[in-house]
Chains A and B, each alone.
Chain A
Amino acid sequence: GQNIDQPTEMTATEGAIVQINCTYQTSGFNGLFWYQQHAGEAPTFLSYNVLDGLEEKGRFSSFLSRSKGYSYLLLKELQMKDSASYLCAVRDDKIIFGKGTRLHILP
């Protein structure tokens, strides 16, 4: 079966660092995406990992361990505009999403 798990909600403080974890069990694997989604809007692409290791893109980094079925999204220097849902998605022959993590940023 397909299973993608991530925490439902997280809270962090402006200026801090937060790590959002994602574990997956899927029948196939061709890469893992992270998306950001603000309330009422469509998801927007953040990162894509296909090989093990860390991908850094500005304040956002994403890590993948294929042997552990594990990824995380790291957000640094948090800003109020980072308040959003963060979606982990796995690609095999299609793209399957986790339920998303709603991140609240406190001033």
Chain B
Amino acid sequence: DVKVTQSSRYLVKRTGEKVFLECVQDMDHENMFWYRQDPGLGLRLIYFSYDVKMKEKGDIPEGYSVSREKKERFSLILESASTNQTSMYLCASRTTGTEAFFGQGTRLTVV
């Protein structure tokens, strides 16, 4: 079974803090994605990556950056957390011919 693991299920951070959300997949997938999910807005794509050290902006990249130094790990970075970044963050991975497999999600609260 494909496993996509996010480092935290719940996280509370203060405004202005630098926040790292980690995602690891164990199936050698090339593609990895970060989404945030908010009521009434659905899943919105923040960043995605086709391969190691490659990254592409999604629909809402402002205030975020990403890092993919190893194939299995895709990190989402909030440079200076703000209250409007309080959300559920979902990581996903896929390879050619497969669906996207999701991690369990990280519910981030910025206070």
Residues of chain A having any CB pair with chain B under 8 Å: 2, 33, 41-45, 48, 87, 89, 93-100
- Top 4 nearest A-B pairs by Cβ distance? A99-B42, A42-B102, A97-B43, A45-B99
> Contact between A45 and B56 (Cβ–Cβ < 8 Å)?
no
Closest to A8 in B: B40
Interface residues of B (CB under 8 A from A): 33, 35, 40-45, 48, 56, 58-59, 90, 92, 94, 99-105
- List B contacts of A94 (CB < 8 A): 33, 45, 48, 56, 58
Q: Given A94-B33, A94-B58, A97-B43, are A33 and B100 also a contact pair (CB < 8 Å)?
A: yes
Chain B residues contacting A44 (CB-CB under 8 Å) are 102
Q: For A95, list chain B residues within 8 Å (CB).
A: 33, 45, 92, 94, 100
Identify which of B44, B90, B94 contacts A42 (C-beta below 8 A). B90
Complex Cα gap A43–B58 (Å)? 19
Query: Is B58 a contact of A99 with CB atoms below 8 Å?
Result: no
Report the Cα distance A94→B92, complex, angstroms.
11
CB distance from A6 to the nearest CB of B (A): 9
Q: Are A98 and B100 in contact (CB under 8 A)?
A: no
A100 pairs with B99, CB closer than 8 A: no
For B43, the closest partner residue in chain A by CB is A97
Judge whether A99 and B40 touch: CB under 8 Å.
yes
Q: Which residues of chain A are near B94, meaning CB under 8 Å?
A: 95
Structural contact, A42 and B103, CB atoms closer than 8 A: yes
Q: Which residue of A lies closest to B33 (CB)?
A: A95
A87 CB → nearest B CB, Å: 7
Cβ contacts under 8 Å, B43 to chain A: 43, 87, 89, 97, 100
Shortest Cβ distance from A33 into B: residue: B99
Q: Residue of B at shortest CB range from A98?
A: B42
